[in-house]
Structure 1
Amino acid sequence: MQAKQPIGVFDSGYGGLTILKDIKKLLPQYDYIYLGDNARAPYGTRSFETVYEYTLQAVKWFFEQGCPLVVLACNTASAKALRTIQQNDLPKIDNKKRVLGIVRPTSEVIGNFSTNKKIGVLATSGTVKSESYKIEINKFFPDVEVVQKACPIWVPLVEYGEYATEGADFFVKKYLDELLQTEPDIDTILLACTHYPLLLKWIEKNISSGIKVISQGGIVAESLKDYLYRHPEMESKISKNGTLDFYTTDEEEGFTKQANIFYGKPFKAKQVHLSEP
Structure 2
Amino acid sequence: MMDLIETERILKLAIKNSENLKCEGEVASYIPELANVDQDNFGVSLTTTEGETVSLGDDKFKISIQSISKVIDLIMALEDVGAEKVFSKVGTEPTEYKFNSLIPIEEKVVNPFLNAGAITTSSLISGSDVINKFNRVMKKVSELSNGDEVTFLEEVYKSEMRTTDRNRSIAYYLKSIGIIEGNAEEILDLYVRGCSIGLNVRQLSTIGAVLANGGRSLDNKVQLVEKEVVKTTLALMATCGMYEESGKYLIEVGFPSKSGVGGAILGIIPGKCGVCTYSPRLDESGNSIRGKKVLAEISKTLDLNIFI
Q: Which has the higher strand share?
A: 1
| Length-normalised TM-score, structure 1 | 0.25
